[in-house]
Amino acid sequence: MASSSTSSSQDELSEMDKPVKFSTSEANKHRSYDSFFRKTNAPWYQRHFVAGSISVFLLYFCVFREENDIDEQMGQTLWMRIPALRYQTLIREIKKGKDAGTDVSELEKELEELEKSK
């Protein structure tokens, strides 16, 4: 009895493993036009209100809003905001440059200036 249930489940699995023919499946009846241009219960003026609201928000945010502290910080480089990061980056660039055999004198000068300013 156990062997008959095992064979029927194997038949079902082998049936599931077979490819589905698209032309005879339910997916063939779906048209892409229905996905993009389906009828809704939304009023005709809804798209105008949404477009107007987004326009007003973008005008405020991009044109009329005054800059604040965060906006000013966004204009700075990352090294100006985090001086320790510039120090570590200079040390790494100097080491990499020396290993490659390139001139690192400008980087060393910048490192000295950074250490003096601490």
Mean pLDDT of the chain: 83
* Residues 55-65, mean pLDDT to the nearest whole number: 94
Q: Between residues 57 and 22, which one has the greater pLDDT?
A: 57
Instruction: Give mean pLDDT, residues 98-107.
Output: 90
Tens of pLDDT along 1-40?
445 556 666 666 677 788 888 888 888 888 888 777 777 7
User: What is the per-residue pLDDT for 58?
Assistant: 96
CA 90/CA 96 separation, integer angstroms: 10
Strands (E), the chain: none
Question: Quick count: other Cβ atoms within 10 Å of Cβ 90?
Answer: 19
Q: Does position 53 have pLDDT exceeding 80, yes or no?
A: yes
Confidence tier at 50 by pLDDT (50, 70, 90): very high
Angle between helix 105-117 and 83-100 (nearest 10): 160
Give me the pLDDT at residue 1, please. 47
- For residue 79, give both structure tokens: 């090294």
70 has a pLDDT exceeding 70: yes
